[in-house]
C-alpha cells in the first residue's frame, strides 16, 4: 500500500497566476471561488456532496490534468464525441511524487457508453484489444456487467484510477464487488480518486472522505458524513418519505 509521500498525485493547487481567471464557469461554482489547494493523504480519496457542488467538475479537471481523455479511458484514448469539459484543469497545478504509475484509467459514468464504443473501434483494427476488456464486447452486457468486467480485466495495479460516480452503474451487490477490486488495487500500490454518493463505497478502508460542506472540502469520518447519515436516517425510518411527499 502506498504511503502518503509515495502517492502518484500528492496535491492539487491553483496556479499562482490563476486569480485573474476566477471568472465565468466553473468559478461560478461556490467551491472554486476560493479554492486554493487540496492535499491527498491516503491511497483512496473520496469526494462527496450534493448535486451541483462541483464533485464531477473537480474529478474531470484532475483526470485531464493527469493526461486522460476527458470522456474517459486510458491516456491513449483520443476520441471526442463532444468537448464539454471545463477549463478548470488549465488553472490547476498537479503535484506528483517521483514515483510513477504504470497504469491508469478514467471511469466517467455519463460517457461510459462512448468508451465502450471506442474500445470496439480499436478492437476492429486489432482484435487482441478485447483481451484486456474481458474478451467480449462491452455492449453485449448490461451496464453494470460491462463496468465490473472492465474493472476486473483492465486494471493491472500500480495505477492511478479516477472514478466519477461509479455507483450509477452498479447495484449494491456490484458495489460490494467493486470494493473487493479496490482493495486488491490498493494492495498493489494503486491510488484511487472517486466522486461518489454511495455509503457502501465510502466504507472502504484506507480512504479519506472529503465532503463538500459550506462550499469547502472538509475531511470527515464515515459516521460524520452527511451522505451516510441521510441514508442511515432513511433506512432506520423509511416512513420519513411520507413527510417529504406531503
Residue 69 banded pLDDT, cuts 50, 70, 90: confident
The mean pLDDT of 41-50, rounded to a whole number, is 95
- List, in order, residues 6 or more apart from 28 with CB less than 8 Å away: none
Domain ranges within the chain, ordered by starting residue: 4-245
Higher pLDDT, 127 or 92: 92
Q: Kindly report, residue by residue over 189-224, the tens digit of the pLDDT.
A: 999 999 999 999 999 998 999 999 888 899 999 999
Going by C-alpha positions, the residue among 87, 73, 36 that lies closest to residue 217 is 36
**Average pLDDT of the segment spanning 153-172:** 91
> What's this model's pTM, rounded to 2 decimal places?
0.85
The CATH architecture of the domain made up of 4-245 is 3-Layer(aba) Sandwich (3.40)
Residue with grid cell 464525441, as numbered in its chain: 81
Amino acid at each position: 500500500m502506498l504511503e502518503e509521500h509515495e502517492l502518484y498525485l500528492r496535491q492539487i493547487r491553483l496556479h499562482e497566476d490563476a486569480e485573474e481567471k476566477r471568472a465565468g464557469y466553473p468559478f461560478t461554482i461556490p467551491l472554486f471561488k476560493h479554492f486554493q489547494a487540496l492535499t491527498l493523504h491516503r491511497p483512496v480519496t473520496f469526494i462527496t456532496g450534493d448535486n451541483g457542488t462541483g464533485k464531477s467538475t473537480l474529478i474531470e479537471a484532475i483526470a485531464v490534468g493527469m493526461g486522460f481523455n476527458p470522456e474517459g479511458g486510458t491516456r491513449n484514448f483520443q476520441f471526442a464525441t463532444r468537448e464539454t469539459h471545463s477549463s478548470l484543469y488549465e488553472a490547476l497545478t498537479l503535484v506528483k511524487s517521483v514515483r510513477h504509475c504504470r497504469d491508469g484509467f478514467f471511469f466517467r459514468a455519463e460517457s461510459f457508453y462512448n468508451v465502450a464504443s471506442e474500445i470496439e473501434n480499436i478492437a476492429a483494427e486489432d482484435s487482441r484489444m478485447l483481451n484486456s476488456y474481458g474478451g467480449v464486447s462491452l455492449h453485449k452486457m448490461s451496464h453494470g456487467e460491462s463496468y465490473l468486467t472492465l474493472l476486473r480485466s483492465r486494471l493491472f495495479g500500480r495505477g492511478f484510477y479516477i472514478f466519477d460516480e461509479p455507483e450509477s452503474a452498479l447495484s449494491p451487490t456490484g458495489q460490494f464487488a467493486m470494493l473487493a477490486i479496490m482493495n486488491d488495487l490498493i494492495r498493489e500500490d494503486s491510488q484511487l480518486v472517486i466522486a461518489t454518493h454511495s455509503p457502501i463505497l465510502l466504507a472502504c478502508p484506507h480512504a479519506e472522505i472529503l465532503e463538500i460542506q459550506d462550499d469547502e472540502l472538509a475531511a470527515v469520518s464515515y459516521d460524520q458524513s452527511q451522505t451516510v447519515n441521510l441514508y442511515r436516517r432513511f433506512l432506520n425510518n423509511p416512513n420519513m418519505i411520507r413527510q417529504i411527499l406531503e
